[in-house]
Structure 1
Amino acid sequence: MRAMDYALPAADGYHVGVFIKTTSPQTVELLGGTGLDFAVIDAEHAPFDRTSLDLAMLAGRAAQLPLFVRVLERNASGLLSVLDMGAAGVLVPHVDTAEQAREVVAHCRYVGGDRGYSSSPRAAGYGALGMKEAIRRGDRNVVVAQIESAQAVEEAANIAAVPGVAGLFIGRADLALSMGLDNAQDERVGAATERVIRVSLAAGKVVGMFVGSTAEREKYRALGVSWFVQGSDQSLLRQGAQAIARPRQA
């Protein structure tokens, strides 16, 4: 599999990835040898610029690890940039309406959309693919819309119905904030989460979530979630270090 090639899990399967929040291409390279299905570069909450994103994509290709990018903004230029670099897909924050979802898809598609074409980037094989093949491959990029507000929960069925939206990703922390709560585990957030899962599955779309543990992953697998971001490079490093640290005396 080339790093840019990625297919979402089949109906009876699931995939597991992590967030990457440190701007080290060696981290991407290391994770590529672990058996993870994908990783998500978190350009929304971590200090990635275009150069560090490009180096991460280069490392992902070398390690055969498909990389998504959680983009900082859903504008055309930002989406174009990461797709040209060779991202397998995009995780787009704060998609609250079907109209916003349609705009995102249009920015990510050549055919029927408004994505600008160039033969020179990595996604086009640096000119080697030819225009027809580059367009064919580019239009297979995976678009996942992040549902993280009360409004988005209300609009989730309409967002899921937008052609080109491959899945919905539930962001429970921001969803909690939008509901006036400070706990992503609140039962009201849980009820909203399950509602989004139901409508997404009814539309035939994949459901994704961030989970903090394998036990939580299995809980939501039973409800039909199949695309999991479990932890991050930061949390894995911290947990590993804490596991070997010398006990401190009180």
Structure 2
Amino acid sequence: MTPLGGDRAAPLGGGRIGTWTKLPALESVQIAAHAGFDFVVVDQEHAPLDLRTAYELITVAAALGTTPLVRVADGAPSGIQRLLDAGAAGVLIPHVDTVEQARDAVAAVRFPPVGRRGAGGTSRAGRWGLRSREEYLATGEDALCVPQIESREAVGNAAAIAAVDGVDALFVGAADIGLDVAAAPSAPEVTELCGAALRAAHEAGIPCGAATATARGAAALLAQGFDFVVVSNDTSMLAEAASSVVHTIRGNGGPS
């Protein structure tokens, strides 16, 4: 699989695998890094992770050589700016349905003249003022802007969204597309819509990612042509392991 989107999008090309981080625990990121995940996505959309917790998880991931991304709760520029200043390598922005929303996302990620992000060179991204202004501003050029395609409308606009200057990759949310069209994520209609978004991203020369609960599902998505995959999450992996232990013991006639 050939990485798409140039050097900036390289962390999301070539079959990279990551996982969602939902627990406010540094150990989650450490375990993911030591297990070999290429990136982690700190999940502020579907987990109660505040800015300070995200900051700590980002710091640990970066220190261990694992790319730290954040799925923000929404496209609010103030939240995106603070996460990038905290050192996040990029953001996934939920429910980007239109070109206008994609442009707003880019504006929140990029410094002027491309965007409207404010300068905060005394932040972690600026090494607390030790980086030169030029070095700090370069972090804005490198930051990944990844709109999430999660509705029939978004799929219809995927080609135009992918073509917006400053969009580095698309991320397809099959579960939310399924909700939008009143079908299961595995339904043929949803599969076709996800495939259409994937084709739109590749025609624009940028990577496209998706999420799945299992390793087998991840392998299938990569075989389908997705460039990066988010597999399971820290809470589900812990829950499944705990459930397996109890089931194995009690299922084999152990104490109840």
Normalized against structure 2, the TM-score is what?
A: 0.90
1:155 is matched by which residue type in structure 2? N
For residues 220 and 17 of structure 1, what CA distance do their matches in structure 2 show? 13
* Equivalent residues of 1:197, 1:223 under 8 A apart: no
The one-letter amino acid of 1:7's match is A
Supply the AA of the counterpart residue of 2:10.
Answer: A
Residue of structure 2 in register with 1:59 after alignment: 60
Q: Which one of the candidate residues 163, 166, 171 is aligned to 1:164?
A: 166
Determine helix, strand or coil for the equivalent of 1:103: helix
Compute the displacement of 1:214 (Å): 2.4
Deviates more, 1:57-66 or 1:73-82: 57-66
Deviation digits for residues 213-245 of structure 1, max 9, x if unmatched?
222222222221011000000111122223322
**Alignment correspondent of 2:237:** 236
Which amino acid counterpart does residue 195 of structure 2 have in structure 1? Answer: E
Tell me, in whole angstroms, the C-alpha distance in 2 between the residues paired with 1:163 and 1:65. Answer: 26
- Return structure 1 stretches of 4+ with deviation > 6 angstroms: none
Quote the residue 1:114 is aligned against: 116
Where does structure 1 lack aligned partners over 5 or more consecutive residues? none
Name the SS of the counterpart of 2:145 in structure 1.
strand
1:94 equivalent in alignment to 2:95 = yes
CA contact (8 A) 1:29 1:62 kept: no
Q: What SS is found at the alignment partner of 1:165?
A: coil
Match of 2:149 in 1: 147
More helix by share: 2
Give the aligned CA root-mean-square deviation in angstroms: 1.7
CA distance, structure 2, for counterparts of residue 193 and residue 31 of structure 1: 27
The alpha carbon displacement at 1:29 in A equals 2.1
The answer as to whether partners of 1:160 and 1:167 remain within 8 angstroms in 2 is yes
Normalising by structure 1, report the TM-score.
0.92
CA distance in 2 between counterparts of 1:209 and 1:83 reads 22
Where structure 2 has 5 or more consecutive residues not aligned to the other structure, the ranges are 1-7
1:233 maps to a residue whose letter is D
Identity of aligned residues (%): 34
Per the TM alignment, residue 9 of structure 1 is displaced from its structure 2 partner at its CA by 4.4
Q: 1:30-41 counterparts in 2 under 5 A?
A: 30-41=31-42
The AA in structure 2 aligned to 1:186 is A
How big is the shift at 1:130? 1.3
Q: Measure the CA separation in 1 of the matches of 2:9 and 2:82.
A: 19
Aligned partner of 2:39: which letter?
F
1:164-243 alignment runs, 5 A limit: 164-181=166-183, 183-243=184-244
Moved more, 56-65 or 16-25: 56-65
Structure 2: distance between partners of 1:190 and 1:61: 34
Q: What SS is found at the alignment partner of 2:202? A: helix
**Rounded Cα–Cα distance in structure 2 between residues aligned with 1:64 and 1:218:** 23
